[in-house]
A and B are shown apart, each in its own frame.
Chain A
Amino acid sequence: MKVTLNGLRQYVDFDWSPEEVTERLTMLGLEVEGVVRIAGDFEGVVVAQVITRDKHPNADKLSVCRVNDGKGERQIVCGAQNFQAGDNVPLILPGATLPPRPGDKEPFTIKVGKIRGVESHGMMCSADELGIDPEALGLKREDGLLILGPDATVGQALALHFGRGGSDVVFDLEVTPNRPDLNSIIGIAREIAAITGNALRLPAVDRAPVLAADATNEAASLVSVRVEAADLCPRYTARVIRGVRVGPSPEWLRTGLERVGMRSINNVVDVTNFVMLETGQPLHAFDYGLVAKADDGRPTIVVRRAADGEKFIALDGRESVLAGGHLLIADSARGIALAGVMGGQNTEINDRTVDVLLESAYFSPTSIRRTSKTLGIRTDSSYRFERGADIGISEWASRRAAHLILETAGGTLAAGVVDVCAEPIVPRQIVLRHAKVNALLGLDLAAAEIESFLGQLGLKIVNRRPRSLDDPAPPEPVTFQVPTYRVDLKQEVDLVEEVARLYGVDRIPSTEPRHAKGGHAFDARHDEFMEVRRLLAGLGLNEAQGQTLISRASMAGGDLAAVVPLLNPLSSDMDVMRPSLLPGLLDVMGRNLRQKNGDVALFELGRVFRANAGGVSEGWRLAIALTGARSPAFWAGAERDARYEVADLKGLIEELFEHLGLKGWGFARRVESGGFFLESAQISLGGKLVLGEMGQLQPRLAKSHDLRDPVLLAELDLDQILARRNAGRSFKALPAFPAIRRDVAMVVPESVTHEAVMQAVRQAKAPNLEAAELFDVFRGKHVAEGHKSLAYAFTYRGADRTLTDAEAGAAHEKVLAQLKQSLQAAIRE
């Protein structure tokens, strides 16, 4: 909503600077989003009166004058001869600039200066200097000063004197949807009146210059109104103005509209728009002569639901096909306006319009919203009706518009109004307890203060029992009657907000946070998530946070059945909810590679969404993706160029599991890897509970994401992991006796896994065996094709004594025997 400073000042007195207006309206809840200053015509030029005129002591052709500029007297040196004391003339003040004239290199700015030794504080101007054609203004063309005539108001801005736009400030306000009353100049002025305590000045609309009321000049005899859809149109008023002259709008009306961004059309239409801006009530003017007459000879306005398929051509020439839900204003033959949205071409005000039928109505917000939305037509009118107009103002706004039409387009007003109101308008009443105000705001306001704030907003107390001032009893609840324009005030707490606004939110003292303890099951979860994140960051991974909306195509080859589709996706890039973190992470890897970030180690902790049994389940997962160099760049060392491989990823996962206190995890190679993986392992706990999968990305996906180095991926079910975490720690005494280490190298077939070795070792049940550790895997020289050499270190330690060599040796023999038996291992001596 745009309003001008001068516009507001027509309705309420206040002397705030534009900065103060911005600050005070913003703090009232009317955020000022933009301020535009408009320079007026004749900036710095006022009407001044010459008081004395004397000869210049040092120059024959100059005079020294004393001049009243409305605020005080100034001394002006002047070279013109055509004036005398008592004349009203234009005076340009120091600092102001004359309008540029053809041939001027730069504008001429007036300064205080001495002319032939006498100071001059401004300059009296000629018509030429001001760029004015005096005859066009009804003034005499003469050499010398422009003489303004005796009725000019001394001190008035010249622009105002000529009826031209003066300087002004346009404020662009953000009106919240609950306050439709603020989509009007009067509404905003009312707020200013409320906080300044100054009276709201409404234009007088009662001095109706009507024709003598006889049958031919009464509204009711000129038009009838039949509301067939009272649920959508609770009130409809019609007035008739006869004999208007449609033409251009006067200056004030044109600038008034243009400054707030509206186009001037003609005097009649402009008035309806102006009154809408002024009062918030949208109006529509029909060409009375074009409205079809009913059988009784009068035009009948029918407010009805459109028929399905009914066609309508709006003012802008667009044709719409209507449906039964659309509210239509019709005459006896056809639709003439889309109620509250836009008028029809068939009854538009035009150059030949003589009589005007003026509509001012209240339409239900839902109805207007539906029409506007389904037909895709949004207008200043539909905007206001959608948010809720003031049902109480329809008739008043109509009267106001009628007056302005008479003023700008002439004509005569038919007596009376046709006002169809289905039900009497009953203002809402709200009971307010003063204590509630203070309890909610944390204040201690007196009852009188609270009531005075609400009174300033136009609320009236309707039911207080008389009580004496010194009655010690607390003030009783008071019932307030709410003005119809405040559609947002519905219950007690709404009045509390009004008190807060007028009192000033900034004046409500802040209270220190109180130390109550909150609780929620997720609270501990948050810490666990942070712990996992910090562990992984500590292990060298960067954290990613991806999109939760991904493309169905990115899940191709994955678990498509689990995909949760969107009903109204923005694009096919984001048409499903992610059932896995991997597609998003792959995209991120690809983007990094294309940005030449070749070494990427990322994790993401986030939600996934999976369809199951007709519903959707949400779960938390953890994914890791690695590619490129394993360690930061360095300039020496054999391993410096090492790329990430499966063991790196597994090591990270094991490190994480160990820190989280998981026990009994296993990695089992999947016989057939599918989806994202070329080769993968299922990660499980206790051999049963599946925690996730890890492995190497399959080459087709790698290629499509521009990934050249091997990419290692893992995805884990974080809910399961955290459910089985063991945060408890207990101390185990440090070993008291020395250990004996025996190393073994053995050649086994490729198919023998580390897990198989460990199983054989466990099977051997060797006493005092503390640990078995793989420390070398070798293929090549002296190892047959299809075989590998594994080297293990075995540690033997007694719990209660130092083992003898023989004891350790005996235990070790058991291990060796088992390895030979279970794995056909060839022990290398």
Chain B
Amino acid sequence: MHRLSHPTLIAHPVTLLDPRVKLLSALALLVMVVSCTGVAFPLLAAALGLALCLWLGVPARLILVRFAEPLFIAAVVLLLKTFFSGTDPLFTLHPFGLEIVAHRDGLAEGGAIAARIAGAVAVVAAVGFATPFTDLMAALSWLRVPQGLIDVALFAWRYLFVLFDDAQVVYAAQRNRLGYAGFRRGLRSFGMLAGALVIKAFDTSQTITTAMVQRGYDGNLPLLKHRPFRTGEVAASVLFVAAMGMLRWL
């Protein structure tokens, strides 16, 4: 869970940009990456995203953890496409006496998918590291994402860490009582842990509703007010997206 709670760098120039500008730029870049059939542009986006994460001062270990899973999937897809898809032979391997043929067209298809994964993950990771979650939600609200979805996301975000701490306490107590010694006991303990979390969620929702109603809650959460767009930020963003667009369609 510590992977979620990396403090966004408040004073960093990228963090200070308008979240709407960052989100729109990231979404435009994401569309370009996902709609790309080549390898070069998604890899460029991946390099830019990675560089931005490093510039933001995100610890290398956190970046590695964030990228590990999607990049592993990218590698698996690349291997599978190379060896089990396509018709144009590239080279042959003989593991354990078997003949496995790598295909040129499979490699190209797999490479395109792997590059898309790397590029898209880097873009979303960069915007995630550079923008506090509440700012992202305010930007999504400005983009006309339904208020109900934003409210639920904000409640979930607010109580995620509280519930996770509770889960850790229950889990530690169960472990100390050998609750995970053996498969069946572990299963039972896990069910009880999840059930305890649901009960906690119900009770907490009642408590916070009472507290919020006393403070004027009418069913809608107030969101952060956006400052007016700054011309410089918008212009820089448009230029960046246009430049990336030109590179994408070159």
A binds B: no
B contact residues vs A (CB 8 Å cutoff): none
